Structure 1
């Protein structure tokens, strides 16, 4: 109710100041007409206040309560969001730590695999070298035997040729027969 009186007083002061301003120009409002207008405005405001005062008061009170409730709700949601943010940041830190751990484990596993591959390659290389040595030795022995056979054949051919040159055919036949009988008898 005090607000209505304040509004009416403010309107009256505005109208009075307008009256004073217009009086200095030489034009003035009739005071009776002015008073009727002020009374008319006061009655209009009073009727509106009487008819809709409770609704207006309820509207502004309800609106205030809605705003307070909305502010409380926003504060609660802000706290929840901050809590979720803190949880997400903690999870991100955990994920980063997990990523670093997985990366370290991956590196260690890669090094173990690399070491195993290098070790296996070294074993295979040693085996290949050993096989190559054995192959070379066998090939060398085979070549040596082949050379010996060729030398023996060459020597036999040369000895045979030399003997044929020195011996005649009958003497040669007698030597062969004598050798065969020795071989067969022994």
Structure 2
């Protein structure tokens, strides 16, 4: 509000001076073609007019112009300070980002190394486990084979015994006559009868 009150007289003063200058310029235009250049008649009013105009401008515009330049200087200084702070923040953020990139890079390398180590350990573990499984399977197969061989041997022994019995029975039947049969039958009956 106070700035508006200070500017209003400035506009009134400027409009008055401009009106006087226009009126003076118009009166010069209709002079009838005579050109007389005298210091007091021609230059003095112009110099006085300029001096009055300059004095009025200096008187009324001094403070607003000074305030304008002071505020403009302060705004420029503030802008420069803000720019400097923004630059410092940007540089700090850049340094932080570079540090984070290095940290991430180091962490990535660490994770890769750990994964390789873990992979090698897992690989060795799988190899050892597969060797153990192969050994277990081989032992189981050997045990199964041994068992099957034993069964086959037992089966062959039984079959051989049966064949031996059949062969012996066949030979006994060939060699035995009716007299031998009756004698064996009597001996058997005597033995069975004697057990009672």
Same fold per TM (> 0.5)? yes
Q: Give the gaps of 5 or more residues in structure 1.
A: 1-26
Query: Which of 137, 140, 151 lines up with 1:131 in the alignment?
Result: 140
Residue 52 of structure 1 pairs with residue 57 of structure 2: no
Aligned-partner Cα distance in 1 for 2:60–2:46? 21
Query: Which of 69, 77, 81 lines up with 2:78 in the alignment?
Result: 69
Q: Give the gaps of 5 or more residues in structure 2.
A: 1-32
Aligned-partner Cα distance in 1 for 2:74–2:91? 25
Q: Report deviation, 1:71.
A: 0.5
Q: Report deviation, 1:33.
A: 8.0
Q: Report deviation, 1:123.
A: 0.8
Distance 1:60 1:172, change over 3 A: farther
Q: Report deviation, 1:172.
A: 4.4
Q: Report deviation, 1:42.
A: 5.6
Partner SS for 2:132: helix
Q: Report deviation, 1:76.
A: 2.2
Q: Report deviation, 1:49.
A: 3.1
Higher RCO (C-alpha 8 Å, min separation 6): 2
Residue 103 of structure 1 pairs with residue 112 of structure 2: yes
Deviates more, 1:84-93 or 1:29-38: 29-38
Distance 1:143 1:67, change over 3 A: same
Aligned-partner Cα distance in 2 for 1:164–1:78? 124
Deviates more, 1:44-53 or 1:95-104: 44-53
Task: String of CA shifts for 1:102-136, please: whole Å, max 9, x gaps.
Answer: 11011101111111111011011111101111111
Q: What's the counterpart of residue 97 of structure 2?
A: 88
Q: What is the alpha-carbon root mean square deviation over aligned residues?
A: 3.1
What does residue range 1-186 of structure 1 map to in structure 2 within 5 Å? 43-168=52-177, 171-172=180-181, 174-175=183-184
Q: How many residues align?
A: 154
Distance 1:113 1:101, change over 3 A: same
TM-score by length of 2: 0.65
